[in-house]
A and B are shown apart, each in its own frame.
Chain A
């Protein structure tokens, strides 16, 4: 029965969503056309839209998929026909994606991704929700048991209800999500993005906005005849207000993204779902996790929280929304996260015990170059505006403190099949991986390293996220670095 499984189609309304998707990318063009105010251009736009609509309908009629015993077979293509055979065992990530409109219609997008390929193996826009969940369940089982009851009881499964065998590892109540927003800097990113978008619009909107705001403030303040103390107070007040505004933005972002976050495990696969309006569900096999990173920012530390992210071998395609499961625990107490990591590691080795310090001179490496830069800056400012600039040198002790603090906190550990580094001073991080997941080793020495007898070890893993700190142990004593390097070389070849 499995080899002759029936072919299935997408949801009949899929053409609508596909059309919407294409129109979104065409939106800019449309705006240009409408602003162009030339009638023949509108005709071209109409031709374009009709073309895209026809394509969307054709896509629906030509896209078929079939679930076999150990693979999913996708037939697609309007002009060039494609037959794609994706073994379940190769699928790293199954992502379900539902925006508000799709939730209203009870449908979902499904993205199947394998390791290393920049493009998803299959992107199904859109399936009926219960079919999508069924597909996800099949992949999770590795297609071991063909599902007999695929057609029974459509529409009764709700997106939030995990399957009965799922073991919930972490779920975030709203209070935690609010804390997540409070500790996040995402508001800054949103503001930055808005500025970038405004800058793209041209007409120097930003500059005019700043000028207007500046003259408004200046006019009012000038009328008030403020003293210096009041000025200082006003500036502090403004800064606090700006900070609060940013945190508010962050909190709204966190609510939108992480409302109803649930991380669960079932049959060796982790799945996560989250989102207030747009629901996202992603799964990844537990053993496909390549490297781990723990973060503890300053605010997070005050709140007694940390966050956990992982690299899986899925390479994100640069555009569009992120499907991969990266945030295993966006926020949780340290004990909770340690237990989570420990439970997921095959040898249950976390938290590591014997952390070793770096080279005793490591603090100098964090101090010298910033100090030299500060010296250059001081000279430049002095040349411009006189001896007052020497006050800048008051920052030197702060830099020294930072270096010392960083070096005191930094440490590495290698035990129980794990290699780990922790670093940071105000905000801290831990980065670690199983040694059997390492793909290549690199020992590096800059001239500065050699002068102090240091070396830096880099570990390369699959799918390493460029936004995370590199998996590396810097500023090791040279012989220690060499020793770890050779030990790992022996382990990897076994």
Chain B
């Protein structure tokens, strides 16, 4: 809607104080205006860490089944291995699953990006199966910000954009820099007050 009267922050290095972003009081420049971020912005590097922790955890959890239910019977019944070889095989399968989970999480982090332009909030992710979601400003019903303990430690936040839709009734963007999440929320809020009756 407006042609960026003040220049948007550079896409590569978001200008933000990493040491002490007070969660209660967002930095004034973000509260004043986030008119548009017309470039695709990647998630901060710290988000890769949290995402990979999560991916490793999920991979290890899901890897339990093939490690115990697949590896152990394979080693003892089919291959007639000893107990320590069996244990080694199960551990190997388990670790491979964890590594795979980490890898997938890393790829997802690297492929994730967001953009706020005149059409609304765009979020894309996925390296193999790619998707790009657009939530027009006028369709935002309300917004949530979640900060888990790990995210809090890395000064990250999850933005949840609620719409009246069915599949995308809640679009989650995890691993945003805290300041960006707050700025996005503030930029998206007023629209819902203007358009009352979109149903």
A: which residues have CB within 8 A of B?
Answer: 115-116, 288, 290, 313, 436-447, 450, 458, 460-464, 485-486, 489-490, 492-493
Contact = CB atoms under 8 A, between A and B. Distances in A.
A70 to B, nearest CB: 16
A314 B130 CA distance: 31
Q: How large is the interface on B (under 10, 10 to 19, 20 to 34, 35 or more residues)?
A: 20 to 34
A439 B164 contact: yes
Q: Is the interface of A mostly helix, strand, loop or mixed?
A: mixed
Interface string B144-169: 00000000000000000001111110
A493 B199 contact: no
B164 A313 contact: yes
B133 A493 contact: no
Contacts of A442: 131-134, 167-168
Interface in B124-150: 128-139
A447 B129 CA distance: 6
A447 B133 contact: no
Interface of B: 118-120, 128-139, 163-168, 171, 198-199
Contacts of A440: 133-136, 139, 163, 165, 167-168, 171
B83 to A, nearest CB: 34
Contact of B134 (A290, A441, A450): A441
A321 to B, nearest CB: 21
Given A290-B199, A436-B198, A464-B166, 15 more contacts: A438-B139, A440-B133, A440-B136, A440-B165, A440-B171, A442-B168, A443-B131, A443-B132, A460-B165, A462-B164, A486-B119, A489-B119, A492-B119, A492-B120, A492-B138
10 closest A-B pairs (Cβ-Cβ)?
A439-B165, A460-B165, A489-B119, A464-B166, A492-B136, A440-B168, A462-B164, A441-B134, A439-B163, A445-B130
Contacts of A116: 164
B131 A444 contact: yes
Contacts of B198: 436-437, 439
B130 A288 contact: no
B166 A493 contact: no
Contacts of A486: 119
A56 B129 CA distance: 55
A462 B165 contact: yes
Contacts of B139: 438-440, 492
A457 to B, nearest CB: 10
A116 B166 CA distance: 10
A440 B129 CA distance: 19
B120 A462 contact: no
A257 B163 CA distance: 35
A443 B131 CA distance: 5
A273 B198 CA distance: 28
A438 B165 CA distance: 8
Contacts of B164: 115-116, 313, 439, 462
Given A442-B132, A443-B131, A490-B119, A288 B199 contact: yes
